């Protein structure tokens, strides 16, 4: 899908950080609507000029008594897990957006809310200004909100911490004498697709920069943020395991009205039809799979287009998956490389970019098929011994899409047998030769004397010759067979050795 517009415009962002006179007139809901997207990954952190000279302050907002010079941001969760951010502010004397030695740090405070299913929220109704410790959902009071400097577990203990509102974290350093210049923002159990809002303040009213950086990216069970929200448009394609409705949204710089359109997957790209009329909130609840397009207009009449973008929503639980096992080596190689080739119908979702399949190898050890290799993202299984197998494939984390290949057999031979009458390995025969009735199998001693000719699928060799037990030693075999890896089933001869152990 083509992204028609260039990188996201800085116009709204610059308005947020420079038009301090405008902010002086804003109420809480309008200020929140200026929120800008951000993400933090190994290659990117958010560093931006702070705001000074702003008179507006939302008194009693969570644990914060003052919220002057406020900057608003939102993030979207990509991979689920815990996210920990450091927030700091300093006077950037050389303008390089790095905290260098000798540069003076400034006090910075914040409050964060979440999770939400969209970034287009009703801030006045959805962002509580106080906490609720008794759980009755009434009389939310800022006085009940705790500074996480005093109690780091207040917002993170249990499913919702001690507070059951949408306030997910809040922190301030009480006095400059405490010399605390880094605040910590934690989302303990973020889920993919969730949105979170954060308000960061400049209490000192001194010019500088603010930095917001995730610090636990390389740790186990760390969540990540979705950097696709920095791009204009509707974001990445969506795979759902039969879970509808799915919420999608988009945005274009300069757009004030939007039009959603849809068409079927795989249909004519020009066959879009409108979904309802124009809207000023570009959020759509999707109930079926398909292609969804958003058009942004800079006027209420919908005549001046400023961008359009589409995405695929695919229900992977409804896709039929055909699995073809391919074996790289010829028979009797000893160990094998098995690869699963995947085809999907009625549409090829892999061609649409949905390639996150996972695969499991199962083996029959005589009592039915059991897991031999657990689910892995690679369709290739290395060092597979001879035996009877099947491959189970599915779209990642979608059990409803699970499909199983036909059974495939790999020819081979046991490296030893123990004819002692205990019921285990008492006879020796080739593995999976029974489907080749024309195969010829001969067993020799070390001097080349023929001891036994075996019938494919027969009882095998019991370790005797003319009724006498043969001694523990190495023995040789020779097999003439049709190579199942060859499409023409060419005739082959293979010779090898095995051990008789008594």
Confidence band of 413 (pLDDT split at 50, 70, 90): very high
Per-residue pLDDT reduced to its tens digit, 145-193:
999 988 888 887 644 457 778 999 999 876 656 666 889 999 999 999 9
Average pLDDT (473-499) is 94
CB 499 within 8 A of CB 453: no
Q: Are 420 and 376 in contact (CB under 8 A)?
A: no
Q: Answer whether residue 9 shows pLDDT above 70.
A: no
Tell me how far apart the alpha carbons of residues 317 and 377 are, in angstroms, rounded to a whole number: 18
Distances (CA, A) of 414 to 126, 227, 334, 449, 502: 68, 53, 10, 21, 15
Give the 3-state DSSP-derived string for 209-275, with helices as H, strands as E and coil as C. EEEEEECCCCCCCECCECHHHHCCECCCCEEECCCCCEEEECECCCCCEEEEEEECCCCCCCCCEEC
Give the mean pLDDT of 309-313. Answer: 96
Q: Name the token pair of 261.
A: 């359109």
Q: Which of 230, 162, 153, 206 lies closest to 184 in space, CA to CA?
A: 153
Residues near 447 by beta carbon (within 8 Å), at least 6 away in sequence: none
Of 23-27, 58-62, 129-133, 379-383, the poorest mean pLDDT is in 23-27
Task: Report the predicted TM-score, pTM, of the whole model to 2 decimal places.
Answer: 0.73
23: pLDDT confidence band, cut at 50, 70 and 90?
very low
| 116-142: pLDDT as tens digits | 999 999 888 899 999 988 777 777 889
DSSP state letters, 165-225: SSEEEEE--S-GGG---EEEEEEEEE-TT-EEEEEEE-TT----EEEEEES-TTSTTB--B
Average pLDDT score over residue span 271-297 = 96
474 vs 122 pLDDT, higher one: 474
Q: CA 64, CA 60: separation in Å to the nearest integer?
A: 6
Where residue 327 falls among pLDDT bands split at 50, 70, 90?
very high
Across the range 405-427, mean pLDDT stands at 94
Structure tokens at 310: 């589409």
Average pLDDT over the chain, rounded to whole? 88
Q: Who wins on pLDDT, 161 or 435? A: 435
| Average of per-residue pLDDT across 391-419 | 95
């Amino acid at each position: 899908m083509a992204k028609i517009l260039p990188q996201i415009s800085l116009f709204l962002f610059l308005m947020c950080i420079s038009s301090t006179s405008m902010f002086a007139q804003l109420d809480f809901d309008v200020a929140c609507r200026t929120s800008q997207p951000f993400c933090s990954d190994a290659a990117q952190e958010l560093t931006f000029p702070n705001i000074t000279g702003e008179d507006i302050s939302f008194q009693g907002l969570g644990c914060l008594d003052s919220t002057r010079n406020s900057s608003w941001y939102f993030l979207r969760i990509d991979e689920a897990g815990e996210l920990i951010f450091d927030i700091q502010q300093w006077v950037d004397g050389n303008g390089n957006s790095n905290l260098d030695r000798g540069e003076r740090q400034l006090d910075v405070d914040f409050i964060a809310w979440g999770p939400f299913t969209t970034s287009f929220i009703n801030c006045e109704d959805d962002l509580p200004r106080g906490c609720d410790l008794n759980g009755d959902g009434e009389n939310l009071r800022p006085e009940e909100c705790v500074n996480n400097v005093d109690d780091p577990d207040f917002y993170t203990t249990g499913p919702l911490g001690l507070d059951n509102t949408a306030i997910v974290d809040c922190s301030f350093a009480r006095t400059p004498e405490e010399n605390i210049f880094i605040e910590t923002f934690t989302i303990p159990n973020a889920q993919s697709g969730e949105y979170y809002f954060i308000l960061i303040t400049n209490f000192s009213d001194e010019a500088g920069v603010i930095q917001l950086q995730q610090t636990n990216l390389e740790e186990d069970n760390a969540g990540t943020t979705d950097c696709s929200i920095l791009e204009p448009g509707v974001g990445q394609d969506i795979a759902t395991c039969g879970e509808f409705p799915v919420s999608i949204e988009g945005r274009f710089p300069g757009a004030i009205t939007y039009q959603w359109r849809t068409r079927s997957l795989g249909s004519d790209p020009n066959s879009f039809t409108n979904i309802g009329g124009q809207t000023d909130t570009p959020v759509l609840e999707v109930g079926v799979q398909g292609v969804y397009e958003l058009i942004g207009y800079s006027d209420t009449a919908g005549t001046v287009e400023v961008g359009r973008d589409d995405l695929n929503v695919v229900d992977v639980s409804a896709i039929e998956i055909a699995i073809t096992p391919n074996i790289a080596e010829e028979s009797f190689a000893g160990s094998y490389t098995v690869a699963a080739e995947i085809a999907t119908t009625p549409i090829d979702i892999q061609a649409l970019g949905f390639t996150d399949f996972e695969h499991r190898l199962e083996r029959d050890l005589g009592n039915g098929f059991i897991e031999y290799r657990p689910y892995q993202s690679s369709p290739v299984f290395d060092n597979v011994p001879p035996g009877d197998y099947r491959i189970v494939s599915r779209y990642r984390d979608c059990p409803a899409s699970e499909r199983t290949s036909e059974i495939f057999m790999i020819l081979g031979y046991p490296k030893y047998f123990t004819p002692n009458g205990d019921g285990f390995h008492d006879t020796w025969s080739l593995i999976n030769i029974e489907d080749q009735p024309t195969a010829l199998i001969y067993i020799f001693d070390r001097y080349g004397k023929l001891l036994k000719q075996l019938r494919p699928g027969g009882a095998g060799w019991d370790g005797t010759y003319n009724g006498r037990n043969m001694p523990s030693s190495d023995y040789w075999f020779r097999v003439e067979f049709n190579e199942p890896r060859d499409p023409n089933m060419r005739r082959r001869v293979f010779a090898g050795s095995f051990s008789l152990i008594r």
